[in-house]
Amino acid sequence: MKIIISPAKSLNFDKNLPTSIFSFPVFLKDSKIINENLKKKNPLQLKELMKISDKIAELNWKRNVEFSTPFTNINSRPALFTFDGDVYNGIDAFSLDDSKIKKAQSSLRILSGLYGILKPLDLIQPYRLEMGTKIKIEESNNLYEFWKKKLTNFLNDELEKNEMFVNLASNEYSSVIDKKSLKVKMTSPIFKDYKNGKLKIISFYAKKARGLMTRFILDNGINSENDLKGFDYGGYCYNEQESLNSNELVFVR
């Protein structure tokens, strides 16, 4: 089983870590190339590029300037215990025991505009760079062009024949994967809630549900589509009638 999820804009570098184990991003050399490009941009340029406030632009200008290698457990922090958004609230990583952290390290992958792809214990430094940011890097016109082949090849190298591959990332991030070149089927769960008598995808709930499903997989050692259909965290249940696309499983509540 392999799972991909999105990163989060919010970061937490203060909470005590549940493990002292860490690893390093596989594409750190590429991250440095991107960072060298970002370092050339002043706060106003970052504000315009990323459509962010003056305060956030100033913060991320400082982060870009202070980015440095080598990464250590002093200047960096494991990704899974640093990202702090709706998906990560659903995962509740700080309550994972050692065996489930080990399981996450082998099966969970986090897509990232700066780091490409991360294992949960890969060290990261503070940053903000969404995959959809229109920034030219070397010969690539944007981050999708820069990362697509690298990340697709990386996943193909990791995936075994017929291994289940679950996409719990947003469209912005999962679009960086060349699905036609993947050697396995990519299954994308969809989460819908009733609102005013109709089933709808509600962004806030869908994000947390992606985290809840990630946790469900880690808790239960899920390895097949049938097992995945048993997802019931947060009050969701599989709906066969709504699951019209063979690559999508729809869960409703």
Regions of the chain short of the pLDDT cut 50: none
Domain that holds residue 135: 2-252
Partners of 167 in beta bridges: 4
Distance CA 2, CA 83 (A): 19
What's the one-letter identity of residue 236?
Answer: Y
**pLDDT value at residue 246:** 87
What's the one-letter identity of residue 197?
Answer: G
The phi and psi torsions of 217 (rounded to 5 degrees) equal -65, -45
Q: pLDDT tens digits, residue range 23-78?
A: 999 999 999 999 999 999 999 999 999 999 999 999 999 999 999 999 999 999 99
Distance CA 209, CA 106 (A): 21
Distance CA 146, CA 18 (A): 34
DSSP string, 35-73: HHHHHT--HHHHHHHHT--HHHHHHHHHHHHH--SS--T
Taking alpha carbons only, the member of 179, 13, 3 closest to residue 90 is: 3
Model's pTM, two decimal places?
A: 0.96
The phi and psi torsions of 166 (rounded to 5 degrees) equal -110, 125
Q: How many domains does the chain have?
A: 1
Q: pLDDT tens digits, residue range 123-139?
A: 999 999 999 999 999 99
DSSP state of 180: G
Partners of 116 in beta bridges: 112
**pLDDT value at residue 8:** 97
